[in-house]
Structures are given as C-alpha cells and as structure tokens.
Amino acid sequence: MSRQENVIVTGAGSGIGKAFTRLFLADGAHVLAVSLLPEELDRLRDEMADVGGTLVTHVQDLSAPGAAEALLAHCDAQGWQVDTLVNNAGFATFGDVVDTDLMRIETMLRLNVITVTALSSLFGARMRERGSGTILNVGSTAGMVPAVRFAAYGGTKAYVNAFTVALREEMRPNGVNVTCLAPGPVQTKFAETAKIDSFDGTSMLKKWFASGRGSTAEDVARAGYDGMREGKAMVLAGTGSGLAALAQHLIPQSLLPRLMKNM
C-alpha cells in the first residue's frame, strides 16, 4: 500500500486555498492547512470533516520574517515529510503606489515574494534530495499585464510567474514537478482585502467583482490541481486568462498600463 500523500496548503482558510484543501482531502491526502486566521481554520475543520483524508491545521503569519524556516521546523518537529507544497497564500494592494500604505506593500512583498521563494527553496531542497515531490505556486494573470493601481501587486505576481517556470527547469532533472497556476479574476475575498470594492473612482475590476463575474475558487483550484497532476508548467485558469497571456506577447509592455488605465 502506498504511503498517504503529505500536502501543505498555505492560505487554506478561504478561497482557492480552501478549494485546494478539499481536492487533496478527497484524494485521501494528509493536508496541513495553514492560515493566519484561526476562525477560518475552525470553519475549515467543520466543513471538511466528512470529505476524506486527514486534515491538520496550523495558525501562522507567513508574512513574518523567517516564516518559511518556522514552517519547515514545525514539519520537522512532527516528523512530517512534505510531498506536495501549494504556495497559495497572498494578497493584493489596489491603488496608486504613492497613495498606498508602504507598510502594507512591504507586508505584501514578504508574503507574495519572499515567503513563496523561501518555502520553494527549503522544501524543494528536501524534494530534490529524495528525487520526488511537487510544488504548485499560485501566480496570476496580473503578473502578465502591467496595470495601474496594480503596480506593486502585479510586480509580485510577475515574479512568481517567472520564478516558478525557471524553478521548474532547475528541479525537473531531479524528479520534482513545479507548476504555476495563473488565474484571472476570482470571486473570493480578494476584492475586499485589496480594497477594490471600496475604491472611490472608476474601476473595471470594481464593476467586475460587484457584478459577480469572474471564476469561482472551485473551478480555478480544479484547473490548477489537474494541471499539477498532469505535470504542466503553466496553467491558465478563469475568465480573461488566455487573453492576458496573449496580450503579454503581442502588445509592448510600455503600452499595456495605458490600455489598462481604468483597471
């Protein structure tokens, strides 16, 4: 009998991370669900009680300095070998950079870039040593199309997109699969957290989210899950993802922010 797959899902308390958790549990995995908010994890345990697999929750601020090292130490203390790492935790800031609280931008950079890189490095080293494992990083189409009000957030996701594809090639000879999931707009807490829904001005994204358009977290997670299992390098998911990828290649980047000026 094969050993139960051990999985870490960050940002597991809601949205795409919650949907990923359900998919892995349904496949019988042992999932360590990580979130900043204990109340989210309490609800997660209740909702996933009959799904299958084994769910363990862990409250941690992954934007804190040394967060990746702390999570690795936690797993080592449990004697837990991680087979699959899903770097899903992240958030956005929305608005002109000079009008956005700098501390919030710095926190976003640590979570979206530093922690994703460090977790991929630390757990990836263990996977490379064993000659097996999977890393799924959640990027975004926002990293493909530079847009005003998303300068900092889009920059973090451009990094995740490029980092993940390059990491894949580094890890491929050692039997480790690395996949990047790049969703378009998804109906989660994203708009509320980024303060898109309270933005005082003309915004295509504000109208988009307010109208209920965009993909569901479940559909995006399923696309990423299936693509990861199939060993794909990049998975585009959701409304507008294919168009964003096409625009990235056909339109000069210097023009894209002008075209997206009401984002």
Annotated catalytic residues are 153
Rg (CA), the chain: 18
Half-sphere exposure of 27 (CA within 13 A, CB side): 18
Contacts of residue 156, defined as CB under 8 A and 6 or more positions apart, other chains included, come to 90, 108, 109, 112, 113, 143
Contacts of residue 190, defined as CB under 8 A and 6 or more positions apart, other chains included, come to 15, 91, 92, 196, 209
At 108, the amino acid letter reads M
**Six-digit token pair at 9?**
């899902």
- Lay out the sheet containing 6-10: strands in order across: 54-59, 30-35, 6-10, 84-87, 133-138, 176-183, 234-237
Q: Which helix (H) or strand (E) holds 153?
A: helix 151-171
Picking from 78, 168, 192, the residue whose alpha carbon sits closest to that of residue 120 is 168
